[in-house]
């Protein structure tokens, strides 16, 4: 599929008409046999929106081009070692991200995503969100930047990285060009990690206030994803796709519970929102396969202020309109359009998203393999993660091939498919069969599997490329912002900042990075 994306088609794109017939033809082309077999097969999301008469006015992705002719930069990373930055582009026009360029630039250090380029040509780039009503935790009360390696993914068979939003992280553009204001119609979609969300306010992508303040009902229109019940909720326990229209996350026509908005938690989830005069809709689906379902399509809320809307036209990612930054999520791609996209245009976009093949990135850890995990912090490069012989504590200590057999065995692990998610991993002790590395109260322990759901989740870790540009890091399945760390020679599950002493930001990137070494035993 990616090979089809190496030929720019600017002339052909310019000749496309905006007729409904063209859109139908494009959809048919995308859908034929589920493969890209016709001219229309080269149509990427913003080509499809343009053909539908609702062109993109912002297009953001760290994984791929969203126009078949786009060959510019996708995002910018800054490395900790010398503070320099690098734009990460595509492998070819209309192609996938050049993740290898990021890996080379960030080797041996930590990188953050400082900017997400707008592919629409309108300059609506997303930068670190400036302070708003709610201050950010970063310099000058800006929001934090995303760790560039925390959300690896495979797309079109290529490694790429998403934008991992931990609480405190946010991006924004308050001076946009072409984004809907007032009651003007617009649409948007985002491809997200449906397994990474929380109830904080507000993991949004879309239209918000240019002021960074809550300017009242109807002053924003952004697609929200998460488990907040503060203003609204849908069926089940969430997460839900909702509309952040300011002072309310709407799961249906009015605030509160709306049964028509289902829990949706596909690993790769497509979330859409569109709104025009007294009309708006939420749709969603599995980004890996299948179409979109409509969860709400109707009039604006009854409460004062939402009809007509008073959209201001800023763009937010990962935060609420007033810079509420307590939420988590992962973003791979998304766009905003001018005009209210038809369902058929959105269906064509979803078919394109399906076709690119978002899948989980593989760490290379194979179930059944015996490994040892070697620390990377300068203090401790001869240390390995091990359990104590005498108790259930997990620590690091120097171990080598000449160490006593018991020490080598204590520092050897058998990789298992994740007890709670086979796309992740668990680590069984090599010398204590049935006992696994798990966290309990955010401390690492070696405990026997008791078969409970809690144990399985506590013992499941979802690796990503190492935080300091080497090896791997191991966030917990249940706490994606907390990772296996050594701190004062003891093993913990630690956040990059937080309430436990072991959440210290000092050396977090190093202490959470491990080399996968040959088994010591």
Beta bridge partners of 395: 386, 490
Q: Give me the helix-helix angle, 343-356 and 20-31, nearest 10°.
A: 30
For position 516 contacting ligand AHR by CB under 6 A, the verdict is no
* Closest CB to ligand AHR among residues 322, 352: 322
Residue whose pair of structure tokens reads 């560039």 in the numeric block: 148
Nearest distance from C-beta of residue 203 to ligand AHR, angstroms: 10
> Would you state the structure tokens that stand for residue 204, as one six-digit string?
């949004």
Rounded Cα–Cα distance for residues 481 and 28 (Å) = 41
* Closest CB to ligand AHR among residues 226, 471: 226
* Binding string, residues 161-200; x marks residues near ligand AHR by CB under 6 A: ----------------------------------------
Q: Cα-flanking dihedrals φ and ψ of residue 223, to 5°?
A: -80, 130
For position 244 contacting ligand AHR by CB under 6 A, the verdict is yes
> Would you state the structure tokens that stand for residue 278, as one six-digit string?
């007294």
- Give me the DSSP letters along 325-374: ----EEEEEEEEEES---HHHHHHHHHHHHHH-EEEPP-SPPTT-EEEEE
Nearest distance from C-beta of residue 315 to ligand AHR, angstroms: 13
Q: Cα-flanking dihedrals φ and ψ of residue 212, to 5°?
A: 80, 10
Q: Is 103 a catalytic residue?
A: no
280: Cβ–Cβ under 8 A, 6 or more apart, which residues?
221, 243, 273, 274, 296, 297, 298, 299, 300
Which of 246, 352, 483, 503 touches ligand AHR by CB under 6 A? 246
Residue tagged active-site, from 184, 246, 261, 428: 246
* Closest CB to ligand AHR among residues 67, 250: 250
Q: Is 98 a catalytic residue?
A: no
Nearest distance from C-beta of residue 207 to ligand AHR, angstroms: 11
For position 329 contacting ligand AHR by CB under 6 A, the verdict is no
Question: How far apart, in Å, are the Cα atoms of 140 and each of 46, 83, 143, 144, 171?
Answer: 35, 18, 9, 11, 15
Chain positions 296 to 325 lying near ligand AHR, rule: CB under 6 A, are 320-322, 324
* Closest CB to ligand AHR among residues 26, 243: 243
Which of 47, 118, 173, 214 touches ligand AHR by CB under 6 A? 214
Residue number with the smallest Cβ distance to ligand AHR: 320
Question: CB under 6 A: which stretch of 3-11, 98-106, 244-252, 478-486 binds ligand AHR?
Answer: 244-252
Which of 90, 202, 309, 315 touches ligand AHR by CB under 6 A? 202
Residue tagged active-site, from 98, 209, 265, 322: 322
189 neighbors 346 (Cβ within 8 angstroms): yes
> Would you state the structure tokens that stand for residue 345, as one six-digit string?
């245009």
Which residues are identified as catalytic?
246, 322
Which residues bind to ligand AHR, rule: CB under 6 A?
A: 201-202, 214, 244, 246-249, 320-322, 324
């Amino acid at each position: 599929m990616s090979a089809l994306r190496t030929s720019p088609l600017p002339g052909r794109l310019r000749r496309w008409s905006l007729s409904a017939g063209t859109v139908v033809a494009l959809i048919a082309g995308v859908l034929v046999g589920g493969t890209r077999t016709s001219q229309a097969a080269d149509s990427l999301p913003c080509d499809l929106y343009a053909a539908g008469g609702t062109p993109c006015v912002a297009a953001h992705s760290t994984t791929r081009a969203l126009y078949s002719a786009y060959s510019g930069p996708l995002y910018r990373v800054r490395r900790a070692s010398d503070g320099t930055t690098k734009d990460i582009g595509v492998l070819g026009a209309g192609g996938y991200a050049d993740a290898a360029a990021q890996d080379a630039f960030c080797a041996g250090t930590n990188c953050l995503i400082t900017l997400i380029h707008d592919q629409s040509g309108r300059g609506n780039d997303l930068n670190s969100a400036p302070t708003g009503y709610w201050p950010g935790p970063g310099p000058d009360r800006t929001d934090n930047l995303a760790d560039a390696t925390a959300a690896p993914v495979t797309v079109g068979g290529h490694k790429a990285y998403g934008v991992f939003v931990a609480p405190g992280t946010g991006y924004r553009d308050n001076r946009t060009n072409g984004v809907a204001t007032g009651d003007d119609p617009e649409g948007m979609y985002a491809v997200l990690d449906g397994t990474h969300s929380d109830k904080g306010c507000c993991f949004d992508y879309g239209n918000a206030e240019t002021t960074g303040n809550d300017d009242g009902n109807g002053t924003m229109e952004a697609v929200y994803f998460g488990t907040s019940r503060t203003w609204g909720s849908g069926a089940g326990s969430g997460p839900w796709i909702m509309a952040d229209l300011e002072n309310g996350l709407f799961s249906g026509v009015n605030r509160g519970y709306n049964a028509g908005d289902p829990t949706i938690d596909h690993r790769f989830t497509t979330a859409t929102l569109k709104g025009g005069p007294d009309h708006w809709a939420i749709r969603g689906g599995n980004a890996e396969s299948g179409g979109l379902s409509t969860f709400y399509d109707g009039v604006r809320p009854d409460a004062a202020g939402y009809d007509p809307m008073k959209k201001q036209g800023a763009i937010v990612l990962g935060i609420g309109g007033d810079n509420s930054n307590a939420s988590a999520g992962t973003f791979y791609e998304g766009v905003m359009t001018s005009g209210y996209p038809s369902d058929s245009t959105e269906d064509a976009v979803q078919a394109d998203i399906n076709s690119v093949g978002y899948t989980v990135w593989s760490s290379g850890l194979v179930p059944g393999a015996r490994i040892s995990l070697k620390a990377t912090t300068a203090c401790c490069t001869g240390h390995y993660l091990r359990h104590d012989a005498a108790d259930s504590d997990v620590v690091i200590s120097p171990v080598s091939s000449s160490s006593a057999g018991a020490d080598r065995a204590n520092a050897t692990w058998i990789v298992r498919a994740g007890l709670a998610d086979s796309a992740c991993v668990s680590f069984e002790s090599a010398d204590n069969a049935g006992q696994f590395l798990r966290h309990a109260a955010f401390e690492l322990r070696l405990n026997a599997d008791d078969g409970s759901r809690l144990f399985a989740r506590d013992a499941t870790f979802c690796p990503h490329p190492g935080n300091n540009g080497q090896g791997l890091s191991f966030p917990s399945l249940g706490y994606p912002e907390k990772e296996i760390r050594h701190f004062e020679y003891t093993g913990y599950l630690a956040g990059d900042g937080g309430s436990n002493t072991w959440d210290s930001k000092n050396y977090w990137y190093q202490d959470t990075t491990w080399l996968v070494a040959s088994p010591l035993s």
